[in-house]
């Protein structure tokens, strides 16, 4: 197992993660409601965005296998925070594809893929995942 990333604390509640294979960088800031500048994704924002990205990736695998054109699929992601302790209470993800051409069986396969992606299965059961599919 090889290292996949390094993360550096830059000060002022900001970090920078570097993906070692590609060199891509991701900067995080603490959110404005938690003493930060809110000029970048917060770490909890990234968790929610990662859930959406993971769902789409696994759906893409199903789409390729089923010869479904998934390009154009979008999501809106809403993060609901809890306090005491401060943590993600709920992630709301709404999928939209205005022109998806798929059978009902294929659509169900896509939905099942999303709901069982690795990130979805890795989050604590206390994190509510509310997912809506508009296709």
- What integer pLDDT is reported at residue 123 of this predicted model? 98
Do 18 and 64 belong to one domain? Answer: no
- What integer pLDDT is reported at residue 47 of this predicted model? 98
Is residue 80 very low, low, confident or very high in pLDDT (cuts 50, 70, 90)? very high
**Counted domains in the chain:** 2
- Mean model confidence pLDDT for the chain: 97
Proportion of the chain above pLDDT 90, given as a percent: 98
Element (H, E) at 86: none
Do 112 and 90 belong to one domain? Answer: yes
Model confidence pLDDT, tens digit, residues 81-97: 999 999 999 999 999 99
Do 23 and 51 belong to one domain? Answer: no
Model confidence pLDDT, tens digit, residues 15-47: 999 999 999 999 999 999 999 999 999 999 999
Do 98 and 64 belong to one domain? Answer: yes
Do 16 and 48 belong to one domain? Answer: no
134 backbone φψ class: left, alpha, beta (φ>0; ψ -120 to 50): beta
Do 49 and 28 belong to one domain? Answer: no
> Global pTM?
0.94
Do 120 and 87 belong to one domain? Answer: yes
Do 17 and 82 belong to one domain? Answer: no
Do 128 and 100 belong to one domain? Answer: yes
Do 71 and 118 belong to one domain? Answer: yes
13: containing domain: 5-34
Distance separating alpha carbons of residues 107 and 133, to the nearest angstrom = 9
Do 27 and 68 belong to one domain? Answer: no
Do 119 and 63 belong to one domain? Answer: yes
Distance separating alpha carbons of residues 86 and 83, to the nearest angstrom = 4
Q: Residue 2: pLDDT above 90?
A: no
């Amino acid at each position: 197992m090889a290292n996949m990333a390094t993360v550096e604390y830059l000060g002022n509640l900001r970090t920078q993660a570097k993906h070692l294979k590609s060199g891509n960088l991701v900067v995080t800031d603490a959110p404005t409601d938690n003493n930060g500048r809110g000029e970048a994704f917060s770490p909890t924002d990234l968790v929610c965005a990662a859930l959406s990205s993971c769902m789409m990736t696994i759906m893409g695998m199903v789409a390729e296998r089923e010869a479904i054109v998934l390009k154009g699929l979008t999501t809106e992601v809403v993060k609901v925070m809890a306090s005491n302790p401060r943590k993600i209470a709920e992630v709301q993800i709404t999928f939209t594809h205005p022109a998806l051409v798929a059978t009902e069986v294929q659509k169900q396969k896509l939905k099942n893929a999303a709901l069982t992606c690795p990130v979805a299965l890795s989050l604590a059961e206390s994190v509510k995942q509310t997912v809506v599919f508009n296709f």
